[in-house]
Amino acid sequence: MRIRIDHDRCRGAGQCALNAPELFDQSDDDGTVVLLDDRPPPELHDSARIAAELCPNAVIRLVEDS
């Protein structure tokens, strides 16, 4: 799995960082998403999916490995 972020659409709601702090943080400058790991290990895939689902601006895109 790869994680992609559309930074232009992020409004800093923070749901990603709250629900998957191993993968996401928030910028101290503007509160927008900071991706900590764009290729998470399999044990964090469910956390990435939850964070993507909860993002109110749908800025997190997951690309599943084939």
Q: What is the pLDDT along the chain (66 residues), one digit of tens a residue?
A: 999 999 999 999 999 999 999 999 999 999 999 999 999 999 999 999 999 999 999 999 999 987
* pLDDT of res. 66: 77
Domain ranges in the chain are 2-63
CATH of domain 2-63: 3.30.70.20
* pLDDT of res. 16: 97
CB 36 within 8 A of CB 64: no
CB 51 within 8 A of CB 39: no
Report the distance separating Cα 63 and Cα 59, nearest Å. 13
* pLDDT of res. 65: 87
